[in-house]
Chain A
Amino acid sequence: MEQKYFRSIEELKIDIRPEAENKPAGDRQFIFEMQQELKKSTTASRRDFLKLFGFTVASAAIASSCEQPVRKAIPLLIQPEEIVPGKASYYASTFFDGIDYCPVVVKVRDGRPIKIEGNKASSLTKGGTNARTQAAVLGLYDNSRYREPQSGGNAASWQEVDQAIISQLNAIKNKGGKIVVLSATVISPSTKAVINEFLTQYPGEHITYDVLSASAMREANQLSFGKAFLPSYHFDKAEVIVSFDADFLGSWLTPVEFTKQYSINRKLTDGKKKMSRHIHLEGAMSVTGSNADKRIQLHPALEKQTVAALFNELQKLAGESGTKQIDSPADVKAIAKELYSKRGKALVVAGSNDPETQLMINGINQLLQSYGNTIDTAVHLNIRQADDRKLQQMIADMNAGKIDGIFLYDVNPAYDFPEKDKFITGLSKVGLRVAMPVLEEETAPLADFICPDHHFLESWNDAEIKTGYYSLAQPAIRPIFNTRQAQQSFLKWMGSDLDFRTYIQKYWENNLFAQGDNLTFTGFWNSKLHDGIFESGRKESEDFAFDQTAALAAQQKVKAGNADQLALVVFPTVAVGTGKHANNPWLQELPDPVTKACWDNYVSVSPKLANELGLSEFDTVNVNNIGELPVLIQPGQEYKTLSVALGYGREKAGIPATGVGKNAFGQISFVNGHMQYVRPDVTMEQLGGTYEVARTQTHHSMEGRAIVRETTLADYIENPISGNEIREEIKKHLKTLYPKHQYDGFHWGMAIDLNSCTGCNACVVACSAENNVPVVGKEQVLMAREMHWIRIDRYYKGDEHDPEVVRQPVTCQHCDNAPCENVCPVAATTHSNEGLNQMAYNRCIGTRYCNNNCPYKVRRFNFYDYNGSDALKGNEMDPTEMTTDLRRLVLNPDVTIRAKGVIEKCSFCVQRIQEKKLEAKTENRQLRDGDVVPACAQACPSEAIVFGNLNDKNSKIARYFEDERNYHLLEELHTLPSVGYLTKVKNTTV
C-alpha cells in the first residue's frame, strides 16, 4: 500500500538536525557531491549509483591491474528515520503550471523524486494524470534551470539582490510609482494573499496573463449572470455533448478532470448498455474531435453563425419566437433535436474566446437546462483568470512609462505574448524588472534581476482549483540549486522573515480550518498534508439569475462568415502545450495523438487543399510569416483550415527545445479585447523546399485488417459480440500439437478498453519515466528507431477527407506462445511462470531475431548507446543531454539501464509486480486484485487500461476477459496474448 508522509523531508531535517537551519545547503551540498563524484566516476554505472540510498558510488579501476574497481559506499552523515534506504516514500503534492492542474503523489526514492502519480484522493482527477504532469518530474532535473540569483546578468548572492530590489521598491513607493506583478493564473489562495500583501506595501497591481485565455467566457458570464466566472462542467452527467472546437480532452480548461468524467459514460463493461453521445464541430483535427461519435468539419469563420443557428433551432423547439433565422453550414436541426430531447442531460461547450459566441452557448445551455445539471455555477473554476483587456492596458501603460516596477512570476511574455515586441519595448521602459523563472527562458534575460524560483517539487504551495476544492503542494526534495521560491521572495521583499510554509499554515488556520472537522489544527493540517487534498464543500453564493437578453442580442449581431479564405488555427498540443515544458525531452519526443509527429511543429493541411495547391507532405510553406514550416497532410482537416501547434520555436531554452519548430504565438490576435486563436484570413506562401518531420507512424490505414474492431452502440445493444464476430471464427481454427503450460498462482493480463482510450499519451510518458526508456532524438525517430515501450497506434478509416479515427495502445502482448522466445539463440527472452514474457537484457547479444519475429513489433533495439552506459566511451548518442548527471537523477533505480546493442520492451512493470508481491509476503497475506498497477494503467485518466491476475476469477481483469467485446490482437496466429482489447463502440444512433 502507498505510504505517504505527512511531513516533508525538509521538516525532518529540522526535527532531526537542528544545525540544518544554519546549514541550509546540507542536502543540496550532498547532491552536488554526488554529481561531482559522478563526474569523477569512470566505470561505476549510474544504476549502481542510484541503487543504494545515499551512497555515492565513486569508483576507479586500480591502475595496472584487472581487479574489479573499488566501489565506495558512503552513507549519509545522518539518515532521516523516515527514509529507508532503497525504499520509496510518497508525498502528496499539487501540479499546477498556470494551465494544467493535477493533484499528484510524488514517488521519492533515496531522496530524489523519480515519478509522479495522480492523487486518488482527489474527487476531480481521481488519480488521473496527463502527459505534461507525468513529465513534470524531469523538469526538476532540467539542465537549463537557473542555478543562482543574477543581477544585471551577473551571478549575485540573495542578500545583494534582495537589498537592491528592496531599496528600489522603496524608491518607487516614495515617489508614488506603480509596480505590477505579472503572473500566470494563480489558484493558490496563500500566494494570492502574499501578492496582495506585497502590493499593499508597494502600491501596484496584480495582472494575470494566460497564454490560453478564457476571458471571453468570463465576460459572457458577466453578461449572462452578472458575474465574471467560469462554472464547473460535468461531462459525466451529460448524455449528449456538443463541442464547438473545445478540445476538452486535450487542452480546454481542465482536461484531466474532463477526461475522467467523459470516460465514465464511454464505458460499456459489466453489461452497461448506455453511453454518451459526443458531437464535435471543428476545423482542425483535435484529440477530442478524433474521439467524437460524430465529427463535423466546420470552417472557423462559420463557427459563430453555426452556434447562432443551433441557438435558433433550439429556440424554435423551445417554442420561443422572434429569433434570428440564419443559415448554417452544418445540419444543426438534427443536433438541436438530439440536444433538446436530452434536456437537462445535455452539454454544449465552445472553445472560442469570442464573447458573443460564448454568450450564445450560455443561451443554448440555458435552453437545455444545463445549468444546475451539467453545469454547476455554484462551484467556480479558478483557472484562466486573465482579463485580456487589463493585459493590453498594462502593455500600453508600460510603453507609456506609467509602470516603474514589474515582477514577472511564472510568465514568459517575451516568448509567448502575441505582440511580444510591444511587450519587450514596454519592458525596457520599466525601471525595476524582476524575473522569477525556473527554467532558462526568453524573458528573464531582459530583467535586471533574476530571482530563480523553485521547481514545484521543491516548493510549498496550496491551490483552490475549484470553489472548495483545495490541495497542497510540499517539497519532495531539498532545493537542488541556490534558488528561492517566488512567494518567499515576495515575503522577503516585504521585510518579513516568515517562511512560506508557515504562511500557508497560518492562512489555512485562519481561513480553512474553521470549515474543517474538530481536530486540533496540527491534526487537521497533518491529515490534509498527508492526503494533499481538502474538499471543504464550500459553494459560491448563487445570488444571480440567468439573463437571456445578452445572448439574444449577441445572436442578432451574428453575420454570415466567409469560408472561402484560408483560416489558421493555433493550438497547444498535448505534449509541449504552450512551450513552458518545451525543454522536456520526454514531451518533445511524444508523438502527437493525431499526427503521430514529434520534435517539430508543422502546418496541417487538408488533402483537398493540398491537391489543389499541388502540395505534398513535407513541402515547406510560410503561413502569415510564422516562418518556414513543413506541410503535413491531415485527413479530416476542414478544406480551408490550416493549423499550427503553439509551444515551439523557443529561442532561449535548453538544448532540447531551442530552435525546434517555429513560434506561432504571433498569430494570436486581440479582437475586441480578447485573444483569438483563430485567424479567419491568412496567406500561405509555398517556399518549394522540403523538410522532413519525424513521425512514429507513417502508414495510416489498417489495410482492411481486423486490428481495431468496432461497432455501433445500436448493434452492440442488439448483439454484444457485434464487431467481434470474427473472433469466434478464429477460435474455432486454433489447434495445437503441444499442451498448454499451466500457470499456477499468477497469470498476469492486461485489458485495454478501446472505447475509453482518448489517445492522450499519458501512458507513454509514464512508461518512459517508470522504465528509464531512453530519448533518442529527432534523427533517430526519423529512422524509425524510437524506443517507447507503449505506443498508441492511430488509424484512419474511410474517406480521407472525412475519416474516422481509431486508436489502439499497443505494448508487449506477453504472448503465452511468444514467437520471439523461440528464436532467441541465447535464451535471453523466455516465459516466466507468471505468464510474463521476460527479457534479460544482460543475456541479450542483439541478434534482433526476436524483434523480427514479433508480429506486434513492440520490441525495441538499442541501436546506439543512448544511455551512456556502454563500456566503450565516446560513442553515446544523446542529442537531448539525457545522459548528463543532473538528468540521470530521474532514473528509476529498480530498472536496469539498457546497454548499446540489446533489445528491450515492456515488462508489465515487473518491478512493481515484484514489489507488491514482496509487500504481500511480508504482510503475510494474499495479493489483492488491484494491488499491482503498471505505470501506464496508473497514469491513464480514463482508466482504459486494466491489469491483474487472470487466475483470480473475481478480478476485474478476469471479468474484462470474459466480456464479449474482448479480443486479442492477431489472435489467429495462436500467440495467446495476455493483452486483451475491448471493441470500440461508436454511438452513431440518433
Chain B
Amino acid sequence: MNKDYITAYYNDEEELLKAVRQLKDKGLEILDVLTPFPVHGLDKALRMRRSRLSMVAFWGGAVGAALGFLFQAWVFTKGYPLNFGGKPFFAIPSFMPVTFEMAVLFAAFSMVFAFLIYFKLGPGAKTVIHDERITDDRFLVVVGIRKESNYQEIEQALIATGAEGITHNV
C-alpha cells in the first residue's frame, strides 16, 4: 500500500462489523479489512462486487470438455482409426468419461490459478503483514488518508467505533 493509512484493530467480529458499517457511513475510505477467518456479512458491509471466479471456472470447464472430446474424436476418426471390438470409430459414449474429467480438471485449475494470480498470491509471494496476530485472533481495519481529509477526525471516528488500538504509518 503506497499511500498513508491508519489501522485499527478489534478483538471480536461483531464489533468489527459494526465499526466497518459506521466507517462506511462516514464515507471513509477503507483500504482493507484483515481477519483471522471469513467474517460473514463483511463483504456486504464493504459493498464488494459479486465474484466472477465462477465464470472463470465455467469457461475453463467448457474449454476442457471441448479439448477432451475433440481430441478423442480426432484420434479415433482421423489420427489412427482402429476397430476396437466392433465399436464404431466415432463412439460418443466412450468419450464421455474422459471429457467429463477434463472439464472438471480445467475448471478447477483455471479458477484457482485465476484466484492466485488476480491477488498476486503464490509460493513465496511478498505481502505486508500488518500484525502477526491477524491470523490468530485480531480483526484489523485499514483506513486510507487523503491529503485533504483530517487525520485526527478519522482517529476519533475509529475510537468511536470501539477500536482496541490504533497505529499509523505517518
A-side residues, CB < 8 A to B, are 738-741, 815-822, 827, 830-833, 976
Query: In the assembled complex, which residues on chain B have CB atoms less than 8 Å from the CB atom of A817?
Result: 85-86
The yes or no answer to B2 lying at the interface (CB within 8 A) is no
Question: Who on chain B is nearest to A822 by CB?
Answer: B85
| One of A831, A832, A833 near B86 (C-beta < 8 A) | A831
Do B88 and A831 touch (CB < 8 A)? no
A sample of 29 inter-chain contacts (CB < 8 A) reads A738-B86, A738-B87, A738-B88, A738-B91, A739-B88, A741-B83, A816-B86, A817-B85, A817-B86, A818-B85, A818-B86, A819-B85, A820-B85, A821-B84, A821-B85, A822-B84, A822-B85, A822-B87, A827-B82, A830-B82, A830-B83, A830-B84, A831-B82, A831-B83, A831-B84, A831-B86, A832-B83, A833-B83, A976-B86
Do A827 and B84 touch (CB < 8 A)? yes
8 A Cβ contacts from B98-136 to A: none
Query: In the assembled complex, which residues on chain A have CB atoms less than 8 Å from the CB atom of B86?
Result: 738, 740-741, 816-818, 831, 976
5 additional A-B pairs beyond A821-B83, A827-B82, beta carbons within 8 Å, are: A740-B86, A741-B86, A821-B84, A821-B85, A830-B82
8 A Cβ contacts from B59-115 to A: 82-88, 91
In the assembled complex, the CB of A892 is this many whole angstroms from the nearest CB of chain B, namely 27
In the assembled complex, the CB of B91 is this many whole angstroms from the nearest CB of chain A, namely 8
Query: In the assembled complex, which residues on chain B have CB atoms less than 8 Å from the CB atom of A833?
Result: 83
8 A Cβ contacts from B5-56 to A: none
Nearest 5 CB-CB pairings of A with B: A817-B86, A831-B83, A821-B85, A822-B85, A830-B82
Bound-state CA distance A233–B16 (Å) is 112
Query: In the assembled complex, which residues on chain A have CB atoms less than 8 Å from the CB atom of B85?
Result: 815, 817-822, 831
Bound-state CA distance A976–B83 (Å) is 14
Query: In the assembled complex, which residues on chain B have CB atoms less than 8 Å from the CB atom of A739?
Result: 88
Most central of B82, B83, B86, B87 by chain A CB within 10 Å: B86
In the assembled complex, the CB of B89 is this many whole angstroms from the nearest CB of chain A, namely 9
In the assembled complex, the CB of B74 is this many whole angstroms from the nearest CB of chain A, namely 15
Q: Is the interface of B mostly helix, strand, loop or mixed?
A: loop
Question: Who on chain A is nearest to B75 by CB?
Answer: A827
In the assembled complex, the CB of A475 is this many whole angstroms from the nearest CB of chain B, namely 47
Question: Who on chain B is nearest to A736 by CB?
Answer: B86
Query: In the assembled complex, which residues on chain A have CB atoms less than 8 Å from the CB atom of B84?
Result: 821-822, 827, 830-831
Question: Who on chain B is nearest to A818 by CB?
Answer: B85
Query: In the assembled complex, which residues on chain A have CB atoms less than 8 Å from the CB atom of B83?
Result: 741, 821, 830-833
Bound-state CA distance A833–B81 (Å) is 11
In the assembled complex, the CB of B84 is this many whole angstroms from the nearest CB of chain A, namely 5
In the assembled complex, the CB of A868 is this many whole angstroms from the nearest CB of chain B, namely 32
Bound-state CA distance A738–B87 (Å) is 7
Query: In the assembled complex, which residues on chain A have CB atoms less than 8 Å from the CB atom of B87?
Result: 738, 822
In the assembled complex, the CB of A842 is this many whole angstroms from the nearest CB of chain B, namely 16
In the assembled complex, the CB of B107 is this many whole angstroms from the nearest CB of chain A, namely 25
Bound-state CA distance A822–B93 (Å) is 13
Bound-state CA distance A821–B87 (Å) is 10
In the assembled complex, the CB of B43 is this many whole angstroms from the nearest CB of chain A, namely 47
Bound-state CA distance A819–B84 (Å) is 9
Question: Who on chain B is nearest to A739 by CB?
Answer: B88
In the assembled complex, the CB of A646 is this many whole angstroms from the nearest CB of chain B, namely 47
Bound-state CA distance A739–B87 (Å) is 8
Bound-state CA distance A819–B91 (Å) is 15
Question: Who on chain A is nearest to B83 by CB?
Answer: A831
Bound-state CA distance A830–B86 (Å) is 9
Bound-state CA distance A741–B83 (Å) is 8
Query: In the assembled complex, which residues on chain B have CB atoms less than 8 Å from the CB atom of A820?
Result: 85
Most central of B82, B84, B85, B88 by chain A CB within 10 Å: B85
Bound-state CA distance A976–B82 (Å) is 18
In the assembled complex, the CB of A971 is this many whole angstroms from the nearest CB of chain B, namely 14
In the assembled complex, the CB of A387 is this many whole angstroms from the nearest CB of chain B, namely 63
Bound-state CA distance A817–B91 (Å) is 14
Query: In the assembled complex, which residues on chain B have CB atoms less than 8 Å from the CB atom of A816?
Result: 86
Bound-state CA distance A749–B151 (Å) is 96
Query: In the assembled complex, which residues on chain B have CB atoms less than 8 Å from the CB atom of A740?
Result: 86
Question: Who on chain A is nearest to B84 by CB?
Answer: A821
Query: In the assembled complex, which residues on chain A have CB atoms less than 8 Å from the CB atom of B82?
Result: 827, 830-831
Bound-state CA distance A818–B88 (Å) is 13
Bound-state CA distance A821–B83 (Å) is 8
Question: Who on chain B is nearest to A831 by CB?
Answer: B83
Most central of A739, A740, A831, A976 by chain B CB within 10 Å: A831
Question: Who on chain A is nearest to B86 by CB?
Answer: A817
Bound-state CA distance A976–B86 (Å) is 9
Question: Who on chain B is nearest to A830 by CB?
Answer: B82
Question: Who on chain B is nearest to A823 by CB?
Answer: B85
Bound-state CA distance A821–B84 (Å) is 5
Question: Who on chain B is nearest to A816 by CB?
Answer: B86
Bound-state CA distance A827–B76 (Å) is 11
Most central of A741, A815, A819 by chain B CB within 10 Å: A741
Bound-state CA distance A818–B85 (Å) is 4
Query: In the assembled complex, which residues on chain A have CB atoms less than 8 Å from the CB atom of B91?
Result: 738
Bound-state CA distance A638–B86 (Å) is 50
In the assembled complex, the CB of A3 is this many whole angstroms from the nearest CB of chain B, namely 35
Question: Who on chain A is nearest to B93 by CB?
Answer: A737
Query: In the assembled complex, which residues on chain B have CB atoms less than 8 Å from the CB atom of A815?
Result: 85
Query: In the assembled complex, which residues on chain A have CB atoms less than 8 Å from the CB atom of B88?
Result: 738-739
Bound-state CA distance A738–B90 (Å) is 11
In the assembled complex, the CB of A831 is this many whole angstroms from the nearest CB of chain B, namely 4
Bound-state CA distance A7–B88 (Å) is 54
Query: In the assembled complex, which residues on chain B have CB atoms less than 8 Å from the CB atom of A822?
Result: 84-85, 87
Most central of B84, B87, B91 by chain A CB within 10 Å: B84
In the assembled complex, the CB of B71 is this many whole angstroms from the nearest CB of chain A, namely 15
Bound-state CA distance A332–B64 (Å) is 82
Bound-state CA distance A739–B85 (Å) is 12
In the assembled complex, the CB of A524 is this many whole angstroms from the nearest CB of chain B, namely 54
Bound-state CA distance A822–B76 (Å) is 13
Query: In the assembled complex, which residues on chain B have CB atoms less than 8 Å from the CB atom of A831?
Result: 82-86
In the assembled complex, the CB of B124 is this many whole angstroms from the nearest CB of chain A, namely 38
In the assembled complex, the CB of B81 is this many whole angstroms from the nearest CB of chain A, namely 10
Question: Who on chain A is nearest to B87 by CB?
Answer: A738
In the assembled complex, the CB of A483 is this many whole angstroms from the nearest CB of chain B, namely 52
Bound-state CA distance A831–B82 (Å) is 7
Bound-state CA distance A738–B82 (Å) is 15
In the assembled complex, the CB of B86 is this many whole angstroms from the nearest CB of chain A, namely 4
Bound-state CA distance A85–B86 (Å) is 39
Bound-state CA distance A833–B89 (Å) is 13
Question: Who on chain A is nearest to B88 by CB?
Answer: A738
Question: Who on chain A is nearest to B91 by CB?
Answer: A738
In the assembled complex, the CB of A737 is this many whole angstroms from the nearest CB of chain B, namely 9
Query: In the assembled complex, which residues on chain B have CB atoms less than 8 Å from the CB atom of A976?
Result: 86
Question: Who on chain A is nearest to B80 by CB?
Answer: A827
In the assembled complex, the CB of B66 is this many whole angstroms from the nearest CB of chain A, namely 23
Bound-state CA distance A740–B83 (Å) is 11
Bound-state CA distance A370–B91 (Å) is 66
Bound-state CA distance A455–B156 (Å) is 115
In the assembled complex, the CB of A28 is this many whole angstroms from the nearest CB of chain B, namely 48
In the assembled complex, the CB of A260 is this many whole angstroms from the nearest CB of chain B, namely 38
Query: In the assembled complex, which residues on chain B have CB atoms less than 8 Å from the CB atom of A818?
Result: 85-86
In the assembled complex, the CB of B80 is this many whole angstroms from the nearest CB of chain A, namely 8
In the assembled complex, the CB of B131 is this many whole angstroms from the nearest CB of chain A, namely 54
Bound-state CA distance A827–B82 (Å) is 8
Query: In the assembled complex, which residues on chain B have CB atoms less than 8 Å from the CB atom of A827?
Result: 82, 84
In the assembled complex, the CB of B94 is this many whole angstroms from the nearest CB of chain A, namely 8
Bound-state CA distance A753–B51 (Å) is 74
Query: In the assembled complex, which residues on chain B have CB atoms less than 8 Å from the CB atom of A741?
Result: 83, 86
In the assembled complex, the CB of B122 is this many whole angstroms from the nearest CB of chain A, namely 36
Bound-state CA distance A741–B91 (Å) is 13
In the assembled complex, the CB of B12 is this many whole angstroms from the nearest CB of chain A, namely 57
Bound-state CA distance A740–B85 (Å) is 10
Bound-state CA distance A818–B86 (Å) is 7
Bound-state CA distance A816–B85 (Å) is 6
In the assembled complex, the CB of B73 is this many whole angstroms from the nearest CB of chain A, namely 16
Bound-state CA distance A815–B91 (Å) is 19
In the assembled complex, the CB of A356 is this many whole angstroms from the nearest CB of chain B, namely 64
In the assembled complex, the CB of B98 is this many whole angstroms from the nearest CB of chain A, namely 12
Bound-state CA distance A738–B89 (Å) is 10
